[in-house]
Amino acid sequence: MTENSKTSRTLDDGLFNRTYKMFQVLERLPDRYISEEEVKGLLGVLPPDSATSLQSFFKPSIQQASQAFIRMVMAVLKGTYEAREKGKKVVLLPFNFPPEIIHAFENLAPVTTELLTTAGTVVLEGQGERYWDYVLGLGLPDHICSANAIELGSMLSGLDYQPDAIVSGCVGSCDVNAKSHEFVSLLLDLPQIPLEKPTMEFSQGFKYFKNNYYKMIRQLEELAGEELKEENLRELAVRANRCSELYNDLWELKKNVPNPVPGIFSLFVCGTRFSMWGREEGIRTLEQCVEVSRNNLESADYRSREEVARIVWTYLSYLYDTVNFYDWMEEKGISNFGDALQVAFPQTLDLTSKETMLDGMIEMAWKNVMTRQMGAPSMARGWAEDIIYMVKEWDLDGCVYCGHHSCKQTWSAFTVTRNEVLKRTGVPTLGLQGDTWIRSMTPIGVIQEELEQFVNNVIAGKRKRSGRRSRRRAAR
């Protein structure tokens, strides 16, 4: 029996509790550059899975951004852990629900299911495997989505913290996600606050969505025992606008050749969007990402790197080996632009009144990731439009669909979307099979092999025929 299969059979504590303990260790690290020697010392006392991920996080080239990110995630975990003693209620959210409205309440603390699953997968020994096994042991089918099932499984085990309510923000955009959260709310007797997105065209559908959003606010006010205050909303909106500005800076930076934004920053951007948008910790994380990327742009050494491919993940990437996989791509000269979860189109909120700020927030919720693609009136069209936009904006030459095991809805539109992207941009898509959060589905070595073949045989051939590589060289 391997070490991993041994740990996956032990369930003595919840994912949240274990992740929180790990981040308590990380939080004690000094808020300054940590030398390679110090990092080595830290890694020596951590379990192997945790050490592998963190080694990559503390690489000198990205360390300042990783540290800000770690502190931001710790703020989420601490906010959840200490909520009750501060008289607050914890609201569990799915990742497609913009969290800033919850931050605007004094008595509510948001925590995002998929952020917890991902944080646990990245830093825990045995990743999220034991909680996935537990969920299947309850009799749930293996085609539920690991993104949420891992954390929800931990919650159902009775060993973990429990929220006070769930915002069901996937109704109309992902049935699997919505049903998994509903199952937990029924089993644990937690109130559900629904926000339904209709799949109608803009004008009619948006009106309906807006009514639902206001109804949700009234339910949140009841839960929090307070009215949503205009001054709180404004403070929050000012910081959310700063997050949007930084998000747009990163977007623009990616238009350079070579791309100066490290692939791992897509995870940091998503983590911020899904949990700390409009909070100081979120701003700090994005500022550090922008600073590192700008420094890369200024560095002659960085600029001399050759990009053999510029690729994007058309929906999700693989998060069970994120950091090492992304490092491997970097070594191979594959510039990784992240996944479709970054296509959030945040906007500048109009600070004039409570209504204008809420109008902007509602529009952002309507256009947020997954909601805008999988909850579009035509999934294939909504999804393809976003991929085509990314391909054109960042001048990409390859797309990769990770084939997330549970995501039956993206699978259903994959072929149409791939054909549409190829027809309108000439850029090919590699279709893979695997699970974003579970390493036992497809080993990372197989994924690397397939990706390398795609880059060497398909992208390199296309570049050669179009003379693209030599044009880039001449431009330097």
Binding site for ligand SF4 (CB under 6 A): 145, 147, 174, 176-177, 316, 370, 374, 404, 406-407, 409-410
- Taking the least distance from each CB to ligand SF4, the nearer of 18 and 404 is 404
In this structure, are residues 105 and 30 in contact, taking their beta carbons and an 8 Å threshold? no
In this structure, are residues 323 and 58 in contact, taking their beta carbons and an 8 Å threshold? no
In our burial notation (b when 16+ CB lie closer than 10 A, e otherwise), range 435-453 reads: bbbbbebbebeebeebbee
CA neighbor of 247 nearest in space, from 218, 223, 276: 276
Residue type for position 194: P
Nearest distance, CB of residue 10 and ligand SF4, angstroms: 26
Strand 429-431 relative to strand 398-401, pairing: parallel
Nearest distance, CB of residue 460 and ligand SF4, angstroms: 30
Nearest distance, CB of residue 438 and ligand SF4, angstroms: 12
Residue type for position 326: Y
DSSP 171-194: TTT-HHHHHHHHHHHHHHT--EEE
Nearest distance, CB of residue 378 and ligand SF4, angstroms: 16
- Taking the least distance from each CB to ligand SF4, the nearer of 334 and 374 is 374
Backbone phi and psi for residue 196, each to the nearest 5 degrees, phi listed first: -90, 135
- Taking the least distance from each CB to ligand SF4, the nearer of 174 and 261 is 174
- Taking the least distance from each CB to ligand SF4, the nearer of 150 and 220 is 150
Nearest distance, CB of residue 62 and ligand SF4, angstroms: 26
- Taking the least distance from each CB to ligand SF4, the nearer of 57 and 274 is 274
Instruction: Please name the residue that has the structure tokens 């045989």.
Output: 457
- Taking the least distance from each CB to ligand SF4, the nearer of 269 and 374 is 374
Strand (E) positions, 235-314? Answer: 309-313
In this structure, are residues 344 and 100 in contact, taking their beta carbons and an 8 Å threshold? no
Nearest distance, CB of residue 317 and ligand SF4, angstroms: 11
- Taking the least distance from each CB to ligand SF4, the nearer of 111 and 407 is 407
Nearest distance, CB of residue 441 and ligand SF4, angstroms: 14
In this structure, are residues 224 and 109 in contact, taking their beta carbons and an 8 Å threshold? no
Strand 165-168 relative to strand 89-93, pairing: parallel
